[in-house]
Amino acid sequence: MDGLRRHKSMFLLPGLLTLLLIIVFPLLFTIRVSFSGWNVSNPEMDFVGGANYVKVLQDSRFWAANLRLVLLAGGTVLIQYLIGFGLALLVWRNVRARRLWRVLFLVPMMTTPVVMAAVWQMIFHESLGPVNDMLAKLGIAPVHWFTEAGPALAALMTVEIWQWTPFMFLLMLAGLLSLPKEPFLAAAIDGAGAWRTFWKVTFPLMAPVSVSAIIIRLIEASKLSDTVYVLTSGGPGSATESPGYYLYLRGLKEQQTGYAGSLSLTYLVLMVITLTIVAALLARAFKVPRQSSKAKEQ
């Protein structure tokens, strides 16, 4: 038995070591760095106490970026959920060429975010892009997509939604396809129409999948930075900066390593707390049944 156990740890060791190297070490290192004044002119692991954290608390640009993220992530994920669920419902049942549709809807997800953002930059280009061209044909004045705060946020959200709705679609379709048939049959027998069937059967049955899908997308969306980098570079001014992009600016562009360390740790703690609360609220809002009772019902 001991021999077997030793063998097991032998096989586990490479994985555990890698995990240690890529997660635990950087985390500990970041914690240490966040208490140092390490920057480009003073690359030293000295100790400055909580000075960096005091600075974080006073950094209004960082907090503005966090608030903006609530809108960016919350707004885009909600719209992604609605569109993704809608599309999944469309191709769920017997639709002509549904396999083709299913693959087609996934195409945006398969492209690289940076490439996508570059393409969308062309689309939203204020004088050369097709969006303003079309708006002009409708008699609407050209929108300053990247030079005004509101339109820039709208453009950023459009790209995010366009790119990640397919992921939501995929999760929701998988969820729909795994639903048992009987509840739908029972609803038909009880005389429920399409609307009632959706609200009383499909939606409650999809609640667990919905919550998971939204959480997964929220985690992903909170990391938003590459699209910002390519599409708006956080501009105009800092109107579209996300925390991820702001961290990149401070840490990598300006090489304020110590300060960026404290920013990222603050951000990490904020995210963990926020997402935990959001997950609990979502589960309550969707009335997700507890595991034990769910298993029996299915």
Partner 1 sequence: MAQIDIVDVGHTYTAGAEQERWALKPMRLTLEAARTYALVGPSGCGKTTLLNILSGLVKPAQGRLLFDGSDVTALPTKARNIAQVFQFPVIYHSMTVYENLAFPLRCRRWDKARIEARVHQVAEALGLDHRLRQPARRLTADDKQLISLGRGLVRDDVAAVLMDEPLTVIDPQLKLSLRRRIREITEQFRPTVVYVTHDQYEAMSFAQEVLVMKDGRVIQQGTPEQLFEAPASTYVGYFIGSPAMNFLTVERVGGQVTLAGRPLAMAWDVPDAPQIQVGVRPEYVKIVGEPAANVFPTRVRGVRDHGPQRVLEVELAGQLIKVKTPREDGVPATGQILVELPRAKVLPYVDGHLATTPRAADPE
Would you say 139 or 193 has its CB closer to partner 1?
Answer: 193
E strand segments, the chain: none
189 neighbors 176 (Cβ within 8 angstroms): no
CA 77 to CA 212: how far, in whole Å? 12
Name 238's Cβ contacts closer than 8 Å, sequence gap at least 6: 61, 64, 65, 246
Stated as kind and residue range, the H or E segment containing 270 is helix 257-285
Q: Where does this chain bind partner 1 (CB under 8 A)?
A: 180, 182-183, 185-186, 188-193, 196, 200-201, 204, 287, 289, 293-294, 296-298
Q: Give the closest residue to 159 by CA, choosing from 119, 130, 213, 216.
A: 119
Q: Least distance (Å) from partner 1 to the CB of residue 295?
A: 11
Shortest Å, Cβ 206 to partner 1: 11
Q: By C-beta, is 28 or 186 nearer to partner 1?
A: 186
Q: How far is the CB of 168 from partner 1 (least distance, A)?
A: 22
* Whole-angstrom distance, CA of residue 39 vs CA of residue 47: 13
C-beta closer to partner 1: residue 98 or 200: 200
Least distance between partner 1 and beta carbon 196 (Å): 6
| Pick 176 or 265: Cβ nearer partner 1 | 176
The rounded distance, in Å, linking the Cα atoms of 190 and 185 is 9
Q: How far is the CB of 22 from partner 1 (least distance, A)?
A: 42
Q: Which is nearer to partner 1, 151 or 208 (CB)?
A: 208
Q: What is the DSSP letter of 92?
A: H
Nearest distance, CB of residue 194 and partner 1, angstroms: 11
Q: Which is nearer to partner 1, 46 or 190 (CB)?
A: 190
* DSSP H stretches of helix in the chain: 2-19, 25-34, 51-58, 60-92, 98-110, 113-123, 130-137, 149-177, 182-190, 194-197, 203-222, 226-231, 243-248, 257-285, 291-297
Nearer to partner 1 by C-beta: 60 or 293? 293
Closest approach of partner 1 to the CB of residue 102, in Å = 26
SS3 44: coil
